[in-house]
Amino acid sequence: MRVKVGVIGTGAIGIEHIDRINQKTQGAYVTAVSDINVKAAKEVAKRVDAKFFETGEALIASEDVDVVVVTSWDPTHEQYVLEAIKHGKYVFCEKPLAMDAAGCRRIVDAEVAYGKKLVQVGFMRRYDRGYIELKEAIESKQYGEALMMHCAHRNPSADENYTTPMAISNTAIHEIDVLRWLLNEDYESVQMILPKKTSNSHADLHDPQLLIFQTKSGVTIDLEIFVNCRFGYDIKCDVVFETAEVGMTDPAYTRIKSEEKNYTPVSPDWQTRFLDAYDYEFKLWIDSIKNDAVVGPTAWDGYVAAITMMACHESRETKTKVMIQMDERPALYNE
C-alpha cells in the first residue's frame, strides 16, 4: 500500500519535495496540498493531481492524508506539527522545528505525551555523503581525536526580508545540528563575533557573522555565515584531527579549462548542492514510516538546535560568550 502524503506549503522547497515524493520515492505519493497562497497551491494541486485544502488543519485531519510534510514559512511550523501529533500522524517538518526553544519544547512534550516518535526534522545535512564520510572518519578514530572544525555556510544572496537573527535560525541551524551529530556530543558554549559588514547587505542584516562553539569535550568549531557572498552556494567543513585534516569537497563533477583558466565550478544554490541528500532523506523517511518507526532527526534534535540558536542570539546581543544549558532529555529520545 502506498503512503498518502499531504504537503503544507507549496513554495520553493515544498514543490521540490512534492516532485521528489511523486517521482523519486517508491511507495508514497502526494494526495493533498495547502498554502495561504491559494492560487499557487491550486495550480500545484492540479499539476500533480492532488486535492487542495483551504487550511493546513483541514489537510491534516483528512482521510486522504496518512502523513504530513510541513514546508511553509518558519514561524508556521509549530502549529502544524502540534496538529499532526494531535491526529497521531507522522510529520516531516522543515527546519527550524519552531521559532524558539519554548516552541520546540511544546512539540517534545506533545510527542512524549502521545508516547511515540512522530516528528522528523528536515536536518538534511545528515544525509549528505560528505558529512557521512566525515562522521565515519571521526567515529573510527583512525586519525585520533577530532580537535577543531573550520566551517562556512555561504549563500550567494539574501533578500530584503532576511534579517540578522535569520542567519542563525534559518541558515546556521543546519550546522548547529549536523556538527553535534558528527561529533555525537552537545555544545558547551558559543560566542558570536560580528566581522566588518559587507556593502552587499541591507540595513536589517549584519552579514557576515562568525560563531565560535566549544563542545562538552572541548572541540572548538569556527563557523562563518555569509549569505551575500555573491560567488555561489559554498559549504565548508574541515575537521582537524590529531594526525590529519579531513575536509568536505564541493561535489562538482566536472572541471573546466577555458580562456586560459582551469577550474571546478561552485554550486549555484542549495537545491543543486544537496540534491542527493534530499532524495536520500525522503527515501529513508518513507521507508521508516512503512516500518512504523521514524529514525531521522527528532523533535529533541529540533529542541537542542533551538536552545543553541537562542544562545547565539544572546551572544550577539551581549557580545559575550554564552553557556548552553538545556533540559534533561526525555527517555523517548534515548538512542
Contact partner at residue 37 from ligand ISE, ligand NAI, none, CB < 5 to 8 Å by partner kind: ligand NAI
Query: Would you give the binding string for ligand NAI spanning residues 18-37, x where CB under 6 A is met?
Result: ----------------xxxx
Which are the contacts of 258, defined by CB distance < 8 A and separation ≥ 6? Answer: none
Beta strands at 3-8 and 67-70: parallel, antiparallel or unpaired: parallel
Using CB under 6 A as the binding rule, whether residue 170 contacts ligand ISE is answered as yes
By CB under 6 A, tell whether 155 contacts ligand ISE: yes
Dihedrals φ, ψ of 185, to 5°? -155, 160
- The count of C-alpha atoms lying within 13 angstroms of the C-alpha of 7, restricted to the half-sphere facing its C-beta, is 28
| Interface stretch with ligand NAI, choices 67-75, 191-199, 211-219, 295-303 (CB under 6 A) | 67-75
Q: Interface with ligand ISE by CB under 6 A: which range of 44-52, 65-73, 113-121, 169-177?
A: 169-177
What H or E segment, with its residue span, contains residue 19? helix 12-24
201 binds, among ligand ISE, ligand NAI, none (CB under 5 to 8 A by kind): none
Size of interface with ligand NAI, in residues (CB under 6 A): 23
Which phi and psi (to 5°) does residue 234 adopt?
A: -130, 120
Using CB positions, name the residue nearest to ligand NAI. Answer: 11
Indicate which of ligand ISE, ligand NAI, none lies near residue 9 (CB less than 5 to 8 Å, by partner kind): ligand NAI
C-alpha cell recorded at residue 24:
523519486
List phi, psi (to 5°) of 156.
-65, -40
Site for ligand ISE in 226-255 (CB under 6 A): 227
Q: Does 72 bind ligand ISE (CB under 6 A)?
A: no
Task: State the SS3 of 147-213.
Answer: EEEEEEEECCCCCCCCCCCHHHHHHHHHHHHHHHHHHCCCEEEEEEECCCCCCCCCCCCCCCEEEEE
Q: Which three cell numbers stand for residue 297?
A: 532527526
Instruction: Tell me the C-alpha distance between 274 and 183, whole Å.
Output: 21
Return the number of the residue (73 or 263) whose C-beta is nearest ligand NAI.
Answer: 73
The span of 22-30, 135-143, 168-176, 316-324 binding ligand ISE (CB under 6 A) equals 168-176
The answer to whether 333 and 186 are in contact (CB under 8 A) is no
Site for ligand NAI contains 120 (CB under 6 A)? no
171 interacts with ligand ISE by CB under 6 A: yes
Give the cell for residue 189. 558554549
Torsion sign (Cα): 322, 323, 327, 330: positive
284-306: buried (b, 16+ CB within 10 Å) or exposed (e) per residue?
A: bbbebbeeeebebbbbbbbbbbb
For ligand NAI, which residue of 24, 73, 220, 319 counts as binding (CB under 6 A)?
73
Q: What is the CA radius of gyration of the chain?
A: 20
Which CB atom, from 39 or from 257, has the smaller least distance to ligand NAI? 39
Strand partners, 8: 34, 70
Least distance between ligand NAI and beta carbon 37 (Å)? 4
Stretch that binds ligand ISE, among 50-58, 62-70, 170-178, 307-315 (CB under 6 A): 170-178
Binding string, residues 273-312; x marks residues near ligand ISE by CB under 6 A: ----------------------------------------
Using CA atoms of 178, 306, 89, 277 in order, give the dihedral in degrees to the nearest 10.
Answer: -20
The mark string for 122-161 relative to ligand NAI (x by CB under 6 A, - otherwise) is x-x-------------------------------------
Cβ at position 295, least distance to ligand NAI in Å? 18
